[in-house]
Amino acid sequence: MASKSHTNFSPARIWTLAAATVTQLIRMKILAFLVVLCIALVAWGFAFSVLNPEQQLKQLKAGAFAALQVFSIVIAIVATALLLPRDLEDRTLYTILSKPVPRYEYLLGKLLGVLLLIGAGLVVMDVAFSGVLYLRERMLLAQIIQSLNASSTEDLAQIEGYVAKQGLTWNLHLGVMAIFLKAAVVSSLALMISCFASSTLFTVMITFSAVVIGHGQAMMRDFFLNGKMTAVMEQGLSALLAILTPDLGVFDVVENVIQGEVVTWGATQVMLGTAAMYVVGYCVVSHLLFVEKEL
């Protein structure tokens, strides 16, 4: 029987590495963190009975999106930073690379595994979030109907409009998608840093610093660049800043979603394009660093 020829790029090998990475992360008790956040989300959903309907739903969405962002960013930074050191410590890395597995496939498999875990976690939390928000919306509408005799028609229509605007809509899922895209950028950044970092703590600290700077890029550009130099220099320095740290402000549509504003198709395209650019760029640099790394 003829043996199968080896290919330089195999999606099956990458998928196998990704599945093994998910298993590895689950063994690190990552899911316990997810369960705690889901329980906190449900409790948060029923903690604002003294507020008006619009405020209750806004507070619920704000708390839920905060939990989603904490989960995704923490997993993106910590889980990715732990992968290479853990594989080196367990000597799993040597076993994998001793086989005909290119180093870029190893990196892609690891990154895909982290993204699968983050994506699955966000889906679970999105389902819990949607369920709690739907129940809360129904309860508020029931309370409104019960108090019909005490409200005018105009007041009732206004409250129903607020509830519908702040309730469960497809727009909420675009907010969750924006959180996932941001986490994908942060994960790929952490992977790149871990390829040259001397310790896990160094990777975590540098990535966390980049995340903070990335969220404040627009403010930094306004404060340091706007109107203080020529347009060409301003654009050049803005581009340099965006290269050194990811412009995470592009993905900050959550506040708009909480306020009931619609995420436009144009904004969605910008988020998808920006995420693809950063992830591909960081993966290419990661490969260039990892292929020269002495193991």
Residue 149 — pLDDT band, cuts 50, 70, 90?
low
8 Å CB contact between 250 and 274: yes
Top-confidence residue, 124 or 234: 124
Distance CA 67, CA 37 (A): 6
Q: Which residues of 180-199 are buried (b: 16+ CB within 10 A; e: fewer)?
A: bbbbbbbbbbbbbbbbebee
- pLDDT the model gives residue 2: 45
pLDDT in tens, 3-42: 556 677 788 889 999 998 888 888 776 666 666 766 776 6
- pLDDT the model gives residue 286: 92
8 Å CB contact between 2 and 96: no
8 Å CB contact between 204 and 295: no
Q: Which string of DSSP letters, residue by residue, matches 161-179?
A: HHHHHHSS-HHHHHHHHHH
Top-confidence residue, 273 or 214: 273
- pLDDT the model gives residue 185: 94
Across 141-170, average pLDDT: 69
- pLDDT the model gives residue 186: 94
Domain ranges (residues) in the chain: 15-292
pLDDT in tens, 58-77: 888 888 888 888 888 888 89
Distance CA 197, CA 194 (A): 5
- pLDDT the model gives residue 1: 43
Distance CA 203, CA 197 (A): 6
